[in-house]
Amino acid sequence: MTSITQTTPSASSALTASSGDAIVFEHVVKTFSKGSARRHALQGLSFQARPGRVTGLVGPDGAGKTTTMRLAAGLLRPDEGRVAIFGLDSVRDADRAKRLVAYMPQRFGLYEDLTVAENLALYADLHGLPSSQRRPLFDELLTTTGLAPFTSRLAGRLSGGMQQKLALSCSLLSDPRLLLLDEPTSGVDPASRRDLWRIVLNVVRRRNVAALVSTVYMDETQRCDHVVMLRQGRALDAGPPEQFLQRVQGRCFLIPAHSEQRRTVQLHVSTLPGVVDAPLQANGVRVVLSPDAPPETRSAIASHNGAAVTPRFEDAFIDLL
């Protein structure tokens, strides 16, 4: 891909951060007003993301994921706190910071009446990509995404997964150092989800790109190198996925039950002290306990033939909420 020359930030624009950080949020506050009502989207959010790894943003609807993405992309300004992109202040050095970033929102602006090839050419024009560099770059992206056989197909006639692959290809034309992906796999089929993650991980590893990816799919956090868990505009916790799983190690159980018994078992287990969650599963009821669950609760689970199971990220997510 074309290279982007990094501009050395001035002392006034450099934020307090590790020299290797791609993104730094420092106590960021963002509010939105509608009439007399004010909504706090972010309430003192702080986190970092580094090059060469995928940082996942996880949280329920309204947690602040999209607001975080738009702040990192330079589309919003923080009301309080600071945002830095490779040491560049997102407000004072906005133009230079934006040149390092590619942002793929939930509704990327593909032109549905243009073909795959025409969309790539249009975005290459928008990014000022020299003609001499287009063919090898287009070929690389089309091969990586599997879109090579579909260059003459209208974007509007692509499946949802293929449209996301095209959107990602268009985003990568600027050769970004920071890739912002807002729920890129939402609404696509499982095979396309796997393909999109394969492409993202390939770009991150081979080009040492920093990727910030928001997701509502708990299983996708296992693909991230680092996870920031959001709730109501705050970071509940941050770390590698394994760190979250270790939190609930030894506190997750499965009580086997037939379909007609599951609801009864669930209702009973949910009333036990120290039970954080008791979702239904195809083969029984999964139970997550709090750290201070009394021995009587564990005994009750054992009396239902409950056995310890490997934690999932969803268990840790519910435990933290």
Q: Give the model confidence (pLDDT) of 299-309 as tens digits.
A: 999 999 999 99
Angle between helices 160-172 and 190-207 (to 10 degrees): 10
Residue type, 122: L
Name the nearest CA neighbour of 253 among 294, 285, 218.
Answer: 285
> Any idea which fold 247-320 has?
Alpha-Beta Plaits (3.30.70)
Give the pairing type, strands 54-58 and 210-215: parallel
Query: Which residues does residue 231 pair with via DSSP β-bridges, in sequence order?
Result: 234
Q: Which CATH superfamily is domain 23-239 in?
A: P-loop containing nucleotide triphosphate hydrolases (3.40.50.300)
3 vs 67, residue with greater confidence: 67
> Cα(271)–Cα(294) distance, rounded to whole angstroms?
13
266 token code pair: 């669930």
50-94 pLDDT tens trace: 999 999 999 988 999 999 999 999 999 999 999 999 999 999 999
> Cα(160)–Cα(129) distance, rounded to whole angstroms?
27
Average pLDDT over residues 143-157: 96
pLDDT of residue 19: 56
> Cα(277)–Cα(268) distance, rounded to whole angstroms?
12
Domain locations along the chain = 23-239, 247-320
**Whether 253 contacts 281, CB under 8 Å:** no
Q: What is the pTM of this model?
A: 0.88
245 token code pair: 């799983």
Least confident of 18-32, 36-50, 72-86, 228-242: 18-32
pLDDT of residue 3: 34
- Asked, colleague to colleague, whether 23-239 and 247-320 share their fold, the answer is no
List of residues 6+ apart from 15 with CB closer than 8 A: 24, 26, 82, 84, 87, 89
Residue type, 48: Q
Average pLDDT over residues 259-284: 96
**Whether 234 contacts 41, CB under 8 Å:** no
pLDDT of residue 36: 84
pLDDT of residue 227: 98
Least confident of 1-5, 217-221, 243-247, 317-321: 1-5
Q: Is 26 helix (H, G, I), strand (E, B) or coil?
A: strand
> Cα(264)–Cα(249) distance, rounded to whole angstroms?
26
**Whether 213 contacts 184, CB under 8 Å:** yes
* Phi/psi at 88 (5° precision): -95, 130
Whether residue 13 is predicted with pLDDT greater than 80 in this model: the reply is no
Whether residue 9 is predicted with pLDDT greater than 70 in this model: the reply is no
What rounded mean pLDDT belongs to the chain? Answer: 93
Q: Is 313 helix (H, G, I), strand (E, B) or coil?
A: helix
* Phi/psi at 269 (5° precision): -65, -35
Report the C-alpha dihedral over residues 105, 110, 112, 115, rounded to 10 degrees: -140
Whether residue 251 is predicted with pLDDT greater than 70 in this model: the reply is yes
